């Protein structure tokens, strides 16, 4: 990786990414580790929304210190709330049915919208996730339908490591 790679913005780590990164038994653990190591080396800011931290801590007692020392845990702010409210008010994510065509689970939906709202408020380049079923679909809907969210990517780790996605670079910034 060139030291001169320009990133569009920070990467937000969602709960599924954090769980996968922390758990060696998860199918995509090695891929999550590669992205994480790449972002550390590239000095890409990694943001862990406090909402994701809470979800993780509900299933495990502590976020592993080797992960925690490389991320910024970000509280849910008023600006995040404004962005999340816009997503809800404009009905962008509500129009995205689950794979089975049903309405999304309300609890998961609310947390995912808050995480995406935080990413939009931060002008994040991407949200790293293992959740193809809902989170990736919500991110794509928001990126395509909410002003100010253009360019937000759903970075799914289920397809393996992709250096181009890891660099989070856009054609107009590229690599120097």
Each residue's pLDDT tens digit, 72-114: 999 999 999 999 998 888 877 766 666 666 655 666 678 999 9
At 16 the pLDDT is 96
pLDDT over 70 (residue 174): no
Each residue's pLDDT tens digit, 21-54: 999 999 999 999 999 999 999 999 999 999 999 9
Q: Where are the alpha helices (DSSP H) in the chain?
A: 15-22, 29-42, 50-57, 65-68, 78-89, 106-122, 135-145, 163-167
Q: What's the whole-number mean pLDDT along residues 10-14?
A: 95
At 102 the pLDDT is 61
pLDDT over 80 (residue 120): yes
SS (H, E, C) 17-30: HHHHHHCCCCCCHH
CB atoms under 10 Å from CB of 65, counted, come to 8
Q: What's the whole-number mean pLDDT along residues 60-69?
A: 94
Q: Domains along the chain?
A: 11-167 (3.40.50.1010)
- Average pLDDT, whole number, for the chain? 85
CA 60 to chain CA centroid, Å, is 20
Report the distance separating Cα 100 and Cα 97, nearest Å: 7
pLDDT over 80 (residue 138): yes
At 100 the pLDDT is 63
pLDDT over 80 (residue 175): no
Share of the chain above pLDDT 90, in %: 61
């Amino acid at each position: 990786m060139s030291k001169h790679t320009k990133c569009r913005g920070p990467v937000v780590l969602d709960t599924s990414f954090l769980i996968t990164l922390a758990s060696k038994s998860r199918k995509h653990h090695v891929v999550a580790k590669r992205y994480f190591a790449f972002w550390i080396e590239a000095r890409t800011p990694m943001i862990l929304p406090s909402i994701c931290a809470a979800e993780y801590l509900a299933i495990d007692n502590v976020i592993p210190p080797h992960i925690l020392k490389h991320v910024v845990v970000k509280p849910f702010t008023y600006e995040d709330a404004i962005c999340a409210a816009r997503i809800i008010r404009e009905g962008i994510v509500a129009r995205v049915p689950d794979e089975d065509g049903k309405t999304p689970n309300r609890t998961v939906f609310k947390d995912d919208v808050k995480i995406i709202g935080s990413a939009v408020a931060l002008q994040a380049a991407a949200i790293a996730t293992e959740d193809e079923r809902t989170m990736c679909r919500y991110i794509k809907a928001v990126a395509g339908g909410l002003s100010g969210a253009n360019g937000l990517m759903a970075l799914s780790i289920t397809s393996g490591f992709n250096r181009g996605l890891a660099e989070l670079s856009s054609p107009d910034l590229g690599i120097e």
